Amino acid sequence: MAEAGASTLQVGGEVLSCSLVEQELSRRLRRLYPVVNQEETPLPRSWSLKDKCNYIGLSQNNLRVHYTGHGKNHKDAASVRATHPIPTACGIYYFEVKIISKGRDGYMGVGLCAQGVSMNRLPGWDKHSYGYHGDDGHSFCSSGTGQPYGPTFTTGDVIGCCVNLINNTCFYTKNGHSLAIQPVLYPPSGPSIKLISLQFRDKDVVRDSVKCFFAQVQSNLYPTVGLQTPGETVDANFGQQPFVFDIEDYMREWRAKIQSTIKQFPIGARLGEWQAMLQNMVSSYLVHHWYCSTATAFARVTDTTIQEEQNSIKNRQRIQKLVLAGRMGEAIEATQQLYPGLLEHSPNLLFMLKCRQFVEMVIGTDSEVRCFSARSPRFQDSYPRSPSLSPRHGSSNSHIHSTGADSLTCRNGVMSTKSKQSHNKYPTLSSSSSSSSSPSSVNYSKSNSTDSTKSQQHSSMSNQETSDSEMEMEAEHYSNRDPERSSTRIMNGTYKHEEILQADESSMEDSCAQRQLCGGNHAATERMIQFGRELQILSEQLCSEYGKNTVHKEMLQDAFSLLAYSDPWNCPVGQQLDPVQREPVCAALISAILESQNLPKQPPLMLTLGQASECLRLMARVGLGSGSCSFARVDDYLH
Amino acid sequence: MACVLEAPLRMSVLSEVTASSRHYVDRLFDLDPQKVLQGVIDMKNAVIGNNKQKANLIVLGAVPRLLYLLQQETSSTELRTECAVVLGSLAMGTENNVKSLLDCHIIPALLQGLLSPDLKFIEACLRCLRTIFISPVTPEDLLYTLLPFYQDVLLKDATVISHLMALLSRSRYTQEYICQIFSHCCKGPDHQTILFNHGAVQNIAHLLVSTSYKVRMQALKCFSVLAFENPQVSMTLVNVSVDGELLPQIFVKMLQRDKPIEMQLTSAKCLTSMCRAGAIRTDDSCIVLKTLPCLVRMCSKERLLEERVEGAETLAYLIETDVELQRIASITDHLIVMLADYFKYPSSVSAITDIKRLDHDLKHAHELRQAAFKLYASLGANDEDIRKKIIETENMMDRIVNGLSESSIKVRLAAVRCLHSLSRSVQQLRTSFQDHAVWKPLMKVLQNAPNEILVVASSTLCNLLLEFSPSKEPILESGAIELLCSLTQSENLALRVNGIWALMNMAFQAEQKIKSDILRGLSTEQLFQLLSDSDVNVLMKTLGLLRNLLSTRPHIDHIMSTHGKQIMQAVTLILEGEHNIEVKEQTLCILANIADGTTAKELIMTNDDILQKIKYYMSHSNAKLQLAAMFCISNLIWNEEEGSQERQDKLRDMGIVDILHKLSQSSDPNLCDKAKTALQQYLA
């Protein structure tokens, strides 16, 4: 423990260089093990001050190990483990040790061992312990007798140890040359499962079944070195320096191997089955997102039928257009007309829609206030006709697609990037939202946020609306997810749709540009205030009927707060005015409509994608015996 | 011939099929060019992937007609292109198809086609040429001499080469096909030089970064063939850069482990050639940390048999002369153990369970064994520890012994090379070599073997005949002298050297009988022949043999009594001739030995000419020669022997004592000592 104090006392200059080394280390570790969630499962970065034999001394930021015992016989052997075990999500893990001095006899061992293995031994001598020894060049695999393995090693040599969690092997290197591959038996060896053969219908089932498989597997091997005679000194390199052995090349090989395994997965006699399923998925995706002509053409070519009627598709499309244009009143009306009973049966949804309608009134886009202000003819023209299909579908429909898939993509964490993008596309609003730009994206990408109240609001709201447990699960699993890792490409249409929206928006910009409440029209303002009162009444009504609802309360509060500021666009709650905020509302409405029609809320294609990413993430997280998940990423298959 | 019984059946099937095939051929003769074109297109669709159809069409004479149409100036380009496509398709079939095409002189026709301005037609012609040139050449087949002939013709025709070089820029297909043609036609240094002189390196280098994998791969293959054992090309490649990147760097990128195996292996071959040519240092990290490990990986069980053969052969070549690389390779991935697996084909399992597999294994078994032997030979070339590790590998000596008597020349040669490499170990000569009576199969190999085997085998024999080798006796008894003496008469220089070398080793401290046997076996004429050999190595070893023969007094006297005259003549001749210091020194040593004899001394003492020469060399500028001459004198004047007084007097009269006095003042301690000892003889 004495060294602990010493090593923390650093001279100024050294601290600086240390932090540079730290940076380099973090950078290298991120590059080598991109799938590892380092907050959950930290990577080894130094030797442990606690987890070591008394005869071991540490120095130089706990990277240098030297022997302090008498070294009379093997009973004086001493080992030290790294601070953390090797996370399974690494797939392949590697560290190196440089022999600074071979000391008296050079009885040094480099290797791995599990927690609980005695530290009064050299690595390899005991169960769950593996080591390569310098004095005889033998390899010890959980046994007191070693097998002839490689050359001896001594002062100046760099010894590496690589663990392959995909096929449970390890190998050592000397001065950058790999010596030979050996099997490693993991402490409790987990059951091997072929994940791909499991057919999951529901995500919860995926989670549960994968969890129960994973629960039995824990592989906690630590990088370990052992010394036995005075003077022996070694330095560890957990990534602080470039490695002598080209580990990245080895990783590349395995990445390619796993990808080719996936690519060559035998389908065999089930080819027809697969094809039908794929066609179904494509077709349902096209239908879901109203690529009507494409869907029809696809159905004709593949000789399949579209399950949903064209009309129903068009209706949905119309409602979505209205919501996204901020014409909530009309949207609610249309919904009531086309899907009678839907809103009546889901008061929470209705309340959300109405809250949004109020916000739209503040902006001045809702039809109930817009009729008071001078309308731009352009606006009239461009709007109602929008359900033009194939010519524009690439853009307009994809917009809807993005929102339609909202609840799913949120789950995958894609919204963050997407919303950032949409945000940038609204230049006119930028001044108002630039200050609040991050909240707006945070709000949207709730899965990435950690503390935003908005996100809570939104997630709990969706919870109620959809009465689905997905959100719980999401909160459970992804609250800490690294936003960088989220996949953008699931949203294959988002880029274009923004342009169209922008065009639509441009008509509104005229009014927005004035930046006045309800477009500055008095009658409109009055109508808005009246609507606010009605909303208040509705809230009270719901409260008495269904009990107190904090989400509703907050929603209402946020909306009404807009009136408290002279410039709502530039106030703490101003981000509500961002048209991007229409998208979650729209998604909730469309999902409800689809559900009422007994159609899937999300296209199966998106569901499958979500499942695949989900599976991989769980595999990495819980540590399925094979580390192959580290080298298979859904993104690699999305173009 | 085995299917005589089936013949009637096959005939009937054939006639049925040919009826439908005939229709296709008939249409080629239609008067309407449009119908001919349609006929060719239909034929194209009919033959794709159908070997029987291809054979039928060839039998029915479609090839000459297609060639006629292809060459006809009046044919439309479209028709000519389709003809080339069909011919290319026919070439894709069996080897017999290719033979038939070659017989119809398809190559000149296609080469002519390359002059067309139409790219599609050119591509079709190139594709067909490519398919023909890459078809496997079976040396047993006489007809196939046509293929190498054409390959040679192609490369020796300057206009054709320059035209192909020019076509390289036309499209990715021309690039792919031409590179493939080059790499298959280029055989040996002549061809390499031709391609090199036509700017192949510059023209092909940029294809290494093509977007098409096939083009990259074929360009790479081209380089591996061009650079193979060719220092000129290899040295050039090092300095060529594409898009600001030097070729070695590009090759190293192609070695990455996620690249296709074929690409890794081929770029490793390129780097190996460059390294062996001295263009890349053997301690360069791209060799030590990239090429070598890559080649070791190619030897692993996971690779295909062909890849393992190529990997081992290339690695053997890479490390052949560098002990450090040998050491690194020997510890990498347990290579020595890994190679033992090369001898397990065909495995006993495959024999029963899977006929196809057995066939495949059998086909590669020889190649695998010889590749393993080669690599073992390289690994053990210099380092004693590595040799020990190799010999300790399971059944290693048995495998070598078996390899020595295999029918395949390649395997035998490689086994002998391996044995030769291991025979450099004194320890192994005394132990494993003796335990396994290695000399027996080795002596057998030496009978009637082709020269290339003889060279290595006789080198090995040299080592086995070293005096400390326990094999020496049995080898002698099995008639080695005769064999070695016959080797000294060989046209092949290496064989002459090895023969005389082995005899020299054999004569070292040998008994009288062996020495006389050697002299008798060799005959004096042959001995003189060898002493006037143009090669200094042969001369040196022959002198060495003489020196070994002339050791211990009784032997000296005996030999000199029988061959004294000739030997003295030979010695005089060499001392008078234009030879280097080593040769003269060796000759003087022989004289010193003769001077050590009892009766033989007189041969010198009575030969004033020789005495004058000895005197001359005592005052030579080279200390070594002076020393050797002094040995002679010292032997002649040694006191205790009979007649020493007369000899001393005679030599004093010649002025030798004066020289000795001078030499006793020499700054060279050896000379000084020797001179003083000699002078003491006079004092006593």
What does the pLDDT average to over B342-369?
78
What is the least distance, in Å, from the CA of B392 to any CA of chain A?
Answer: 13
Per-residue pLDDT band at A569 (split at 50, 70, 90):
confident
pLDDT recorded at residue B18: 67
A150 CB near a chain B CB, below 8 Å?
Answer: yes
Q: Do A180 and B258 touch (CB under 8 A)?
A: no
3-state SS class at B289: helix
Q: Give residues 554 to 573 of B whose Cβ lies within 8 Å of A.
A: none
- The first and second tokens of residue A362, run together, are 């503040």
Nearest CA to A124 among A235, A224, A231, A233? A224
**A260 vs B contacts (CB less than 8 Å):** none
Residue A124 is classified by DSSP as: T
A636 CB near a chain B CB, below 8 Å?
Answer: no
Q: Which of A160-174, A358-372, B282-296 has the lowest mean pLDDT?
A: A358-372
pLDDT recorded at residue B171: 92
CA dihedral A483, A488, A494, A495 (to 10 degrees): 100
Cα B401 from Cα B436, distance rounded (Å) = 8
Q: Do A180 and B334 touch (CB under 8 A)?
A: yes
B392 CB near a chain A CB, below 8 Å?
Answer: no
What is the least distance, in Å, from the CA of B515 to any CA of chain A?
Answer: 47
Neighbouring C-beta atoms of residue A595, cutoff 10 Å: 17
Per-residue pLDDT band at A252 (split at 50, 70, 90):
very high
pLDDT recorded at residue B522: 85
Residue A485 is classified by DSSP as: G
In residues, how long is chain A? 639
Q: Do A252 and B289 touch (CB under 8 A)?
A: no
Per-residue pLDDT band at B349 (split at 50, 70, 90):
low
pTM: 0.72
What does the pLDDT average to over A388-406?
37
What is the least distance, in Å, from the CA of A254 to any CA of chain B?
Answer: 8
Mean pLDDT rounded to a whole number for chain A: 71
Cα A584 from Cα A251, distance rounded (Å) = 41
pLDDT recorded at residue B371: 94
Burial B597-613 (b: 16+ CB within 10 A, else e): beebbebbbeeeebbeb
Q: Is B74 exposed, middle or buried (0-12, 13-18, 19+ CB in 10 A)?
A: exposed
Q: Which of A47-51, A241-245, B428-432, B512-516 has the lowest mean pLDDT?
A: B428-432
Residue with tokens 């004569």: B507
Cα A22 from Cα A617, distance rounded (Å) = 27
- The first and second tokens of residue A164, run together, are 């392959």
Cα A319 from Cα A95, distance rounded (Å) = 58
3-state SS class at A48: strand
Q: Do B333 and A246 touch (CB under 8 A)?
A: no
What does the pLDDT average to over B560-572?
84
Helices (H), A548-635: 550-561, 582-596, 604-622
Nearest CA to A466 among A369, A346, A606? A346
Looking at the DSSP bridge assignments, the partners of residue A59 are: A64
Q: Are A179 and B331 in contact (CB under 8 A)?
A: yes
Per-residue pLDDT band at B373 (split at 50, 70, 90):
very high
pLDDT recorded at residue B641: 74
ipTM, interface predicted TM-score of the complex? 0.78
What is the least distance, in Å, from the CA of B224 to any CA of chain A?
Answer: 23
Please determine, for residue A405, whether its predicted confidence score (pLDDT) is greater than 60: no
* Beta strand A64-67 pairing with A232-237: antiparallel
Higher local confidence (pLDDT), A274 or B467: A274
Cα A149 from Cα A142, distance rounded (Å) = 14
3-state SS class at B299: coil
Going edge to edge, which strands form the sheet with A129-133?
A47-52, A78-82, A221-227, A109-114, A129-133, A138-141, A147-148
Per-residue pLDDT band at B635 (split at 50, 70, 90):
confident
Nearest CA to A78 among A103, A95, A60? A103
User: HSE (CB half, 13 Å, CA atoms) of B594?
Assistant: 29
B258 CB near a chain A CB, below 8 Å?
Answer: yes
User: HSE (CB half, 13 Å, CA atoms) of A204?
Assistant: 6
Per-residue pLDDT band at A360 (split at 50, 70, 90):
confident
Q: Do A174 and B293 touch (CB under 8 A)?
A: no
Per-residue pLDDT band at B213 (split at 50, 70, 90):
very high
Size of interface A-B (CB pairs under 8 A): 34
pLDDT recorded at residue A483: 40
Q: Which of B256, B258, B331 sits opposite A177 (nearest CB)?
A: B331
For chain A, the 3-state helix, strand and coil shares in percent, each to the nearest 5, are 55, 15, 35
Helices (H), B260-383: 261-276, 285, 292-298, 305-319, 323-331, 335-340, 348-353, 355-379
Element (H, E) at A352: helix A347-363
Closest chain A CA to residue B337: A180
Element (H, E) at A140: strand A138-141
A167 CB near a chain B CB, below 8 Å?
Answer: no
Please give the backbone phi and psi of residue B246, each rounded to the nearest 5 degrees, phi first.
-75, 150
**B328 vs A contacts (CB less than 8 Å):** 177
- Residue B32: which residues within 8 A CB-CB, separation 6 or more? none
Q: Which of A614-628, B52-66, B483-497 has the lowest mean pLDDT?
A: A614-628
What is the least distance, in Å, from the CA of B331 to any CA of chain A?
Answer: 6
Q: Is B664 exposed, middle or buried (0-12, 13-18, 19+ CB in 10 A)?
A: middle
Nearest CA to B612 among B665, B662, B576? B576
Nearest CA to A404 among A296, A255, A286? A286
- Residue A2: which residues within 8 A CB-CB, separation 6 or more? none
Q: Is A415 exposed, middle or buried (0-12, 13-18, 19+ CB in 10 A)?
A: buried
pLDDT recorded at residue B310: 94
Q: What is the DSSP string of A206-275?
A: HHHHHHHHHTT----EEEEEEE-STTEEEEEESSSS--SS-HHHHHHHHHHHHHHHHHT---GGGHHHHH
Mutate to test the interface with A, among B213, B258, B288 (most CBs of A within 10 A): B258
Element (H, E) at A354: helix A347-363
Cα B605 from Cα B653, distance rounded (Å) = 13
3-state SS class at B247: helix
Mean pLDDT rounded to a whole number for chain B: 86
Q: Do B328 and A177 touch (CB under 8 A)?
A: yes
pLDDT recorded at residue A626: 56
Q: What is the largest CA-CA distance in chain A?
A: 97
**A179 vs B contacts (CB less than 8 Å):** 331-334
User: HSE (CB half, 13 Å, CA atoms) of B413?
Assistant: 13
Q: Are A89 and A630 in contact (CB under 8 A)?
A: yes
Mutate to test the interface with A, among B334, B383, B386, B393 (most CBs of A within 10 A): B334
Q: Which of B258, B293, B333 sits opposite A252 (nearest CB)?
A: B258
**Cβ-defined contacts of B389-392 (< 8 Å, 24+):** B389/B330, B389/B336, B390/B336, B390/B422, B391/B422, B391/B428, B391/B432
The verdict on whether omega for the bond into residue B346 sits within 30 degrees of 0, i.e. cis, is yes
- The first and second tokens of residue B72, run together, are 């006809």
Cα A353 from Cα B672, distance rounded (Å) = 118
Share above pLDDT 70 across residues of chain A, in percent, rounded to a whole number: 65
**A167 vs B contacts (CB less than 8 Å):** none
Per-residue pLDDT band at A475 (split at 50, 70, 90):
very low
pLDDT recorded at residue A371: 64
Residue type, A49: L
What does the pLDDT average to over A571-591?
82
Q: Are B257 and B264 in contact (CB under 8 A)?
A: yes
Q: Do B257 and A249 touch (CB under 8 A)?
A: yes
Q: Are A411 and A478 in contact (CB under 8 A)?
A: yes
Q: Give residues 617 to 646 of B whose Cβ lies within 8 Å of A.
A: none
Please determine, for residue A286, whether its predicted confidence score (pLDDT) is greater than 70: yes
What is the least distance, in Å, from the CA of B240 to any CA of chain A?
Answer: 25
**A150 vs B contacts (CB less than 8 Å):** 331
CA dihedral B427, B433, B434, B437 (to 10 degrees): -170
Please give the backbone phi and psi of residue A577, each rounded to the nearest 5 degrees, phi first.
-80, -10
CA dihedral A555, A560, A561, A566 (to 10 degrees): 150
pLDDT tens digit sequence for B248-270? 999 999 999 999 999 999 999 99
Closest chain B CA to residue A250: B257
Mutate to test the interface with B, among A177, A181, A253, A255 (most CBs of B within 10 A): A177
- The first and second tokens of residue B208, run together, are 């290494």
Q: Give residues 238 to 277 of A whose Cβ lies within 8 Å of B.
A: 246, 249-250, 252-253, 255-256
Cα A516 from Cα A567, distance rounded (Å) = 8
Please determine, for residue A188, whether its predicted confidence score (pLDDT) is greater than 50: no
Q: Do B289 and A255 touch (CB under 8 A)?
A: no
**B337 vs A contacts (CB less than 8 Å):** 180
- The first and second tokens of residue A153, run together, are 């090693």
- Residue A329: which residues within 8 A CB-CB, separation 6 or more? A357, A360, A366, A367, A368
Q: Which of B257, B288, B331 sits opposite A179 (nearest CB)?
A: B331
Q: What is the DSSP string of B527-569?
A: HHHHHT-S-HHHHHHHHHHHHHHT-SHHHHHHHHHHHHHHHHH
- Residue B684: which residues within 8 A CB-CB, separation 6 or more? B639
Helices (H), B114-171: 119-133, 146-156, 158-167
A427 CB near a chain B CB, below 8 Å?
Answer: no
Q: Do A252 and B332 touch (CB under 8 A)?
A: no
- Residue A36: which residues within 8 A CB-CB, separation 6 or more? A29, A43, A87, A89, A90, A620, A630
